[in-house]
Chains A and B, each alone.
Chain A
Amino acid sequence: MGGVKRSIIKMATFTGSMAPVLVLWLAMSLSGTWAVDKGNFKTCDQSAFCKRQRALKPGDSPYRALLETMELTNTRLTLQLINDNNKVRLLLELYRLQGNMTRVKINELKPLKPRFEVPDVLITEPSTEPLSLLSQDENGVVLSLGTESQRVIISARPFRLDIMEGPEVLMSLNSRGLLAFEHLRMRKDTQAEPEGEKKEEADPANQAEKEEEEKVDGMWEETFKSHSDSKPNGPSAISLDFSLPGVEHVYGIPEHADTLRLKTTDNGDPYRLYNLDVFQYELYNPMALYGAVPVMLAHKAQRTTGIFWLNAAETWVDISSNTAGKTVFGKMLDYVQGSSETPQTDVRWISESGIIDVFIMLGPTPKDVFSQYASLTGTQSFPPLAAVGYHQCRWNYNDQEDVASVDAGFDEHDIPYDYIWLDIEHTDGKRYFTWDSHKFASPKEMLQALEDKKRKMVAIVDPHIKVDSNYKIHNEIRNKGFYIKNKDGGDYEGWCWPGSAGYPDFTRPDMRAWWASMFAYDQYEGTAENLYTWNDMNEPSVFNGPEVTMHKDAVHGAWEHRDVHNLYGLYVQMATAEGQIQRSGGVERPFVLTRAFFAGSQRYGAVWTGDNAAEWDHLKVSIPMCLSLGLVGISFCGADVGGFFKSPSTELLVRWYQTGAYQPFFRAHAHLDTPRREPWLFGPENTALIRDVVRQRYTLLPYWYQQFYHAYRTGEPIMRPLWVEYPQDPATFALDDEFLIGKDLLVHPVTEEGARGVTAYLPGKDQVWFDVHTFQKHNGAQSLYIPVTMSSIPVFQRGGSIIPRKMRVRRSSSCMTHDPYTLYVALNLQRTAEGELYIDDGHTFNYEKKEFIHRRLSFAKNMLSSVNLATDAEFSTGSWIERIVILGASKPSKVTLKTADGQESQLEFDFDASMSVLTLRKPGVNAGLDWNVMLQ
């Protein structure tokens, strides 16, 4: 869905007087290239606080720790810091958190008014562990971080923090002296309080402050293009640097259309985190996009750590490295000469307001970091099974007849799908929660027709509300005072799809509760259980606002929009998901897709990468974009299959389906101005190619669903970079043209036009990998050239794994509920394998009440067995084991099935000697029971 251009077109059609100007504007923008208009978005230089902060260069920090103010209780340490230049004092709080984390909070000791601290992101107040004092002198303090020889050294002058384990420094804070804290202050030029002035004169701190202000503009007002930011609170930025010794690879801080491995930013702008609706975004640069998760992972072979910078204001992240500039030859020279300094990555975070609240996750493994982060912000919500199927979207399916005919097209061409989507045109004049009375005259009938085929629908509900006194939603929000206010106290109004629109203040719990209640079946007319929701434009997008978003001086109760900006989208999705839960009385799982997001958004649904384009590079970048999101907890990620803007070539479309089928959120989408591209419109051959890959997705749904369950339980990413599973293999550290699903499937999609082959890296020295299509075995720790045709999707199953599939692909995932399983057992060099099988009802919260089946499947010593992993859980299934395919097997003479009641029976089998594939025919045993199969 949509970028700015859409709006302009629509505006031109219904605002007579503005039309000529807009048409001219549009004509100009059309004549240009497809790239983003960078001039619409700020560079660091154009963002006053970023410019001010970045002007500070590494050096001695003006901050000094006042050790005499130190207070150490069982759970926390507090200590005052003083800026020797202006004498403003800060309060440092340090916590040791359960699970190997350290939290550092820095705020003003006595702020003029409270500074914003981000609520609703942490799932609970994190549990602390005792800190103890190891030693102290006038230069500093050494604290013990629990049992593992971990220490924090607080140096007093200048202030710095070093986190050590044994002799090794894991991370240093303020080691480059870039801690900065713009304290809140009274405005000088307009404040004429005599008492205040006297005070100021008496205080030498203010003297320095004055000088500071004289030097720098943009503290009390800032203008970008035609927009001015009134900044009533003046400067309030914060900044802190982190040094990561031994680290050469850092990841995360989505959302950027960039490589998985983050680049150094010395020669350009920092990575920016500021949720924005960027029209036709450009690839491979650090510009901000729709969502922001201020979490960075740092990785080296021995350890993975993470930094979670809990701040919702506009944030910039600088990355530099002492090895980045070196060529391979330079590094080799260092090595030969033995003079190499330890590689190190330095990171610096700059935010416009709020406080410093940083969680240092100390790993040591990647999975430890995922679990640490999950303990703070929660895990991926467990979606309904159907949402893991295929989604068919377009801006727009025009009317009910159109929906019916697309639905019928899928049956005619025997392609499964689960959800058909309606974009903004389905509403009555972009009034969300309504239907166009001509085109969607009987939505309930439409939904019932879909339900009859066990299919579902998603309709869009955006957070901008048409200002129209005949629109119930608007009237209620206005009457309840729920709109965000402008700086002068009136309801904030901006321009979006419906024209003039208000923006509900989703930071208010009462507003969110009201919003959630609007999804009740009696409120949101024409809806039924199989209708779900899509939240778009929730950055929020404001067409006529600065950088296409809301003015920073807009007001959310006690706070400015500046403070909460990056949280807005999270709240919209939170309230919407809550609405869906409530409408079913808490029984059914919600499904909500969002474009904007923040840390914690994983708890509310799925995310997609916004308005991409039908270009090969956009297909390629979908991989690192979703990998980066997965690393910071948001697993349910996908890109618009086919590309949103422009029209894909048939080859690109097919390749995109092949890639998207192996990414967590699998949805095709297209811009209003593009020709139709339902899967059957490109000739029988391409229809067959697309059908084949969508069916591959559906056969793998049991495995996908199990991955979602695992992500929900652990916070581990579903789609994950190779280094997560092979953390000691440097060859995997920068790979982002291939990925793993869980730990057992490796996918290297074909993302090059006209490709004849791809080179996939198969990791693991003692590992083998089986081509899932041919069952051919390959050794690990090699780069393998794989010739490809248009039907090829290089996918490999790890030797040592067991993957359940359902081979009877039907019209939708719900139609496959009772179908039997085929188990793919891929043996490793030790001739063993392990896997899991997870089964529940697929759509309710009953799994929370332990209504599920979770079994461990293991193969060892020629015996495959299924044992219960959750003995306290209970669920019954009609599904049975249809077939067992053992890859890398040898031919047995006899195969015996033994069931829970002790009965034994012989199984027929088929052995393919050329590929060493043993297929066991119809064990027939119920998938929820204990059983084993013995090969003799």
Chain B
Amino acid sequence: MHFHMIIVAVFWFGFVDSRKIRGISSSYKRFFRERKSFLCIDGSKIIPFEQVNDDYCDCEDGSDEPGTSACPQGRFYCTNLGFRPHYIPSSRVNDGICDCCDASDEYNSHAHCQNACWNLGQRERAYVEGQMRTLDEGLQLKQQLIEEGVLLWREKQAQLRELQQVAEDLQTKLEERRSRKQEADRLKEQTPRPPEAGDGRLFRGQNSTVTGTFKLLDSNKDGSITVDEVQAKVALVHDEERVLSEDEAVIKDTHGAPGVGEDPPLKVADREWEATNLKKVEEAYDTVNMEISDLREKLAIDYGPDWEFLFLNSQCYKLKVYEYTYTLCPFNQVTQQSTAGTEVSLGRWGMWEGPPKNQYGRMVYENGEPCWQGGSRSTTVTLTCGTETALRSVKEPSKCQYIMDFQTPVACQPVLKQRGIHSEL
């Protein structure tokens, strides 16, 4: 009730004022106190007061015609009671198009404008409320994600340290194995070549490549190796050594050569065994080192001041637009897949490229698949605040230049809260 009375009051005063000087805000009223003459606001000229708003531009700065379209640089103030007031260029006054929601700009045109401010205001208030809720919720979620991020960061750091430890251990082992192998090689010169023996079970059926080893070590298949995984496998190597030794013993029993200290077949098996083992350890070492550099690289990425973007690292988000499915894997890559199934890279992680005020507002992915006219595909991802983490839109405004709208709680900024409705209310 009280609320409505204020509206009525403000409306009344607004009406009294605008009857005289159309198109000015209350803060400008002091320039337009009715006197005999009017001084252009830039001080350049004095004109008779009748020439204010007389539909002829006298002042260079356009200040004498706030309510008409006469001045090329002028602006018209929409009071817009019930909504946001704002300025429009003078050229939109009486152009037949309703610009001010209070219809005040079309006071002398054929346009039939309705006062829509109250509706707009309500809609805007509802929208802003919604935004506020989203923001609140988003900020809470963000806090959780920050906490998780910190934990994750520590975990990763710990993982790195442990991996470094494992690498050191493996290096020691590697040196040990190398010297053993050298010993075995020395012995080989004294013995004939044996039949197939001592096939390392650990790597059976696997390519002896780094990838193979990686896959083997990555027992939970999450695309990264944890210290536990490495230790588990490396331990297996130890175990196997022992098991094999028993096999050797069996061989020894079968073929028999009692009383002899150094049995040639055994030596052959030993030598093979040493070679295989060395290889295994070398591979494990390489793999661990690769994983370390990989992890270091990942940790070198800027995940925001609170590592709040870290959780996105191993995630991917999809969106289908017409005949294409787009996939954004933050800090990794962007791809486009057609219904026919062909997949095209739209860029690999490049950098943060937000404006100075919102440095983490935009990501750039570069060097995707080359384009017909030269250059390569690239994607700019704009991050906006939302309660869910999802890819919201994909566009290609210019050929090979994609823009994505990516929503996530971690993009929510507390500053947003300061904005609100600035209305005459």
Binding site for B on A (CB under 8 A): 9, 26, 30, 398, 402, 414, 438-439, 452-454, 672-676, 807-811, 814-816, 818-819, 882-883, 921-922
CB of A674 within 8 A of CB of B97, answer no
- Chain B residues within 8 Å of A414, by CB: 89, 91
- Does B333 sit at the interface, judged by CB under 8 A? no
From B48, which residue of chain A is reached at the shortest CB distance?
A908
Q: Are A676 and B398 in contact (CB under 8 A)?
A: yes
- B405 CB to closest chain A CB (Å) equals 12
B235-265 Cβ-contact flags toward A at 8 Å (1 or 0): 0000000000000000000000000000000
Q: B72 touching A809 by the CB < 8 A rule? A: yes
Whether A811 touches B397, Cβ cut-off 8 Å, given contacts A9-B372, A26-B372, A438-B322, is no
Q: Return the contact of A815 from the options B56, B96, B371 (Cβ within 8 A).
A: B96
Q: Mark B61-96, 1 if CB is under 8 A from A, else 0.
A: 000000001101000000000000000011110011
Q: Is the CB of A809 within 8 A of B91?
A: yes
By beta carbon, the residue of chain B nearest A401 is B395
CB of B401 closer than 8 Å to a CB of A: yes
Interchain CB contact under 8 A, B95 and A815: yes
The answer, yes or no, to whether B175 is at the interface (CB within 8 Å) is no
| Contacts A/B (CB < 8 Å), 21 sampled | A9-B372, A26-B372, A30-B373, A398-B395, A414-B89, A438-B322, A439-B322, A452-B97, A454-B96, A672-B399, A673-B373, A673-B400, A674-B373, A674-B399, A676-B401, A808-B69, A810-B91, A810-B92, A814-B96, A818-B109, A922-B56
Residue B199 is within 8 A (CB to CB) of chain A in the complex: no
Q: Hey, what's the 0/1 contact readout for B302-322 against A, CB within 8 Å counting as 1? A: 000000000000000000001
Q: Is B294 an interface residue (CB 8 A)?
A: no
Residues of B within 8 A of A816 (CB): 95
Assess whether B396 is interfacial by the CB under 8 Å rule. Answer: yes
From A402, A676, A810, A819, name the one whose CB has the most chain B CB atoms within 10 angstroms. A810
In B389-421, the 8 Å CB interface with A consists of 395-401
Residue contact A454 to B97, C-beta cutoff 8 Å: yes
- Tell me the smallest distance from the CB of B49 to a CB of chain A, in Å: 15
When distances are taken between beta carbons in the complex, the residues of chain B under 8 Å from A30 are: 372-373
A439 contact set on B, CB distance < 8 A: 322
Contact A674 B398 (CB under 8 A): yes
Query: Please, how many angstroms separate the alpha-carbon atoms of A628 and B360 in the complex?
Result: 55
Known: A673-B373, A921-B56, A922-B56. 6 other contacts (CB 8 A): A438-B322, A673-B399, A810-B69, A811-B91, A815-B95, A815-B96
Q: Output the residue of A453, A808, A818 with the most chain B CB within 10 A.
A: A808
B residues neighboring A (CB under 8 Å): 54-56, 58, 69-70, 72, 89-92, 95-97, 109, 322, 371-373, 395-401
What chain A residues lie within 8 Å of B400 (beta carbons)?
A: 673
Give Cα distance in the complex from A808 to B74, angstroms: 11
Contact: B398 with A807, CB < 8 Å? no
CB distance from A933 to the nearest CB of B (A): 16
Q: A9-B372, A414-B89, A808-B70 are in contact. Are A815 and B397 (CB under 8 A)?
A: no
Q: By the criterion CB–CB under 8 Å, are A398 and B95 in contact?
A: no
* Complex interface: chain B residues within 8 A of A453 (CB): 97
Chain A residue, CB-CB nearest to B400: A673
Greatest chain A CB density within 10 A among B69, B95, B396, B399 is at B95
Is the CB–CB distance between B92 and A811 below 8 Å? yes
- Residues on B with beta carbons closer than 8 Å to the beta carbon of A819: 69
In the complex, the answer to whether A398 meets B91 with C-beta atoms within 8 Å is: no
Q: Separation in Å of the A876 CB from the closest CB of chain B?
A: 14
Is the pair A398, B89 in contact by a Cβ cutoff of 8 Å? Answer: no
Q: Is the CB of A676 within 8 A of B95?
A: no
Which residues of chain B are within 8 angstroms of A438 by Cβ–Cβ distance? 322
CB neighbours (8 Å) of B55 from chain A are 922
The contact of B372 among A454, A673, A675, by CB within 8 Å, is A673
Residues in B neighbouring A672, C-beta threshold 8 A: 399
Question: Contact: B372 with A398, CB < 8 Å?
Answer: no
Give the Cβ gap from A697 to chain B, nearest Cβ, in Å. Answer: 14
Residue of A nearest to B91 (CB): A810
Residues of B within 8 A of A675 (CB): 398, 401
Complex Cα distance, B374 from A26, in Å, reads 12
- With contacts A453-B97, A454-B97 taken as known, whether A808 is within 8 angstroms of B91 at the C-beta atoms is yes
Partner of B97, one of A9, A26, A811: A811
Min Cβ gap B145→A in Å is 31
**Given the complex, which residues of A lie within 8 Å of B372, measured CB to CB?**
9, 26, 30, 673
B95: chain A residues at CB < 8 Å are 454, 810-811, 815-816
What's the minimum C-beta distance from A540 to chain B, rounded to whole angstroms? 25
Instruction: Collect the chain A residues with CB atoms within 8 Å of residue B96's CB.
Output: 454, 814-815
Instruction: Given the known inter-chain contacts A673-B399, A811-B91, A815-B97, please indicate yes or no for A882 contacting B56, CB distance below 8 A.
Output: yes
Give Cα A883 to B56, complex, Å: 9
Instruction: Give the residues in chain A near B90, CB-CB below 8 Å.
Output: 808
Bound-state Cα–Cα, A453 to B396, Å: 26
Residues of A with C-beta under 8 A to B395: 398, 402
Residues of A within 8 A of B97 (CB): 452-454, 811, 815
B70:A673 contact, CB within 8 angstroms: no
What is the CA–CA distance of A398 and B96 in the complex, to the nearest angstrom? 29
Nearest-neighbour CB distance to chain A for B19, whole angstroms, equals 23
Which residues of chain B come closer than 8 Å to A883, judged between CB atoms? 56
Q: Considering the chains assembled together, what is the distance between the CA atoms of A676 and B402 in angstroms?
A: 12
For residue A882, which residue of chain B has the nearest CB? B56
Distance of A405 from chain B, by nearest CB (Å): 9
Q: Which residue of A lies closest to B71 (CB)?
A: A808
Q: Which residue of B lies closest to A698 (CB)?
A: B91
Assembled-state Cα–Cα distance A883/B96 (Å): 23
Residues of A within 8 A of B54 (CB): 922
Taken together as a complex, chains A and B put the C-alpha atoms of A814 and B58 apart, in Å, by 26
- CB closest chain-B residue, reference A416: B91
- From the candidates A398, A402, A676, A808, name the one contacting B72 in the complex (CB within 8 A): A808
List B contacts of A814 (CB < 8 A). Answer: 96
A683 CA to B398 CA, complexed, in Å: 18
Bound together, the chains give a CA A928 to CA B397 distance in angstroms of 47
| B-side contacts of A398, CB under 8 Å | 395-397
CB distance from B424 to the nearest CB of A (A): 24
Q: Which of A453, A882, A883, A922 has the most chain B CB atoms closer than 10 A to its own CB? A: A922
Residues of the B chain whose Cβ atoms lie less than 8 Å from the Cβ of A809: 72, 91
Residue of B nearest to A699 (CB): B72
What is the minimal beta-carbon distance from B310 to any residue of chain A, in angstroms? 33
Cα distance, A819 to B97, chains bound together (Å): 14
Chain B residue nearest to A397 (CB atoms) is B397
Among residues of A, the one whose C-beta sits closest to the C-beta of B393 is A401
Chain B proximity of A450: nearest CB distance (Å): 12
Specify which chain B residues have a CB less than 8 angstroms from the CB of A882 in the assembled complex: 56, 70
Q: Distance (Å) between the CB of A926 and the closest chain B CB?
A: 14
Q: Please state if B397 and A676 are interface contacts (CB–CB under 8 Å).
A: yes
Nearest CB to that of A399 among chain B residues?
B395
| Distance between Cα atoms of A578 and B96 in the complex (Å) | 30
Closest chain A residue, CB of each to CB of B74? A808
In the assembled complex, how far is the CB of residue A330 from the closest CB belonging to chain B, in whole angstroms? 48
Chain A hits for B396, CB < 8 A: 398
Whole-angstrom distance between the alpha carbons of A676 and B399 in the complex? 9
What are the nearest 5 A-B pairs in CB distance? A815-B95, A673-B373, A922-B56, A675-B398, A810-B91
Q: Which residues of A contact B56 (CB under 8 A)?
A: 882-883, 921-922
Q: Cα distance A26–B397 when bound, in Å?
A: 24
Please measure, in the bound complex, the distance between the C-alpha atom of A9 and the C-alpha atom of B400, giving whole angstroms.
14
Closest to A439 in B: B322
List the A side residues contacting B109 at CB < 8 Å: 818
Residues of A close to B92: CB separation below 8 A: 810-811
Minimum CB–CB distance for B260 against chain A, Å: 69
The reply to whether A402 and B397 form a contact with Cβ atoms under 8 Å apart is: yes
Residue of chain A at shortest CB distance from B70: A808
**B373 nearest CB across to chain A (Å):** 4
When distances are taken between beta carbons in the complex, the residues of chain B under 8 Å from A921 are: 56, 58
Cβ distance A679 to chain B, nearest Cβ, rounded Å: 15
**How far does the Cβ of B113 sit from chain A's closest Cβ, in whole Å?**
12
Q: CA separation between A21 and B123, bound complex, in Å? A: 57
Which residues of the other chain, B, contact A815 by a CB distance below 8 angstroms?
A: 91, 95-97
Q: Report the separation of the CA atoms of residues A30 and B375 in the bound assembly, to the nearest whole angstrom.
A: 13
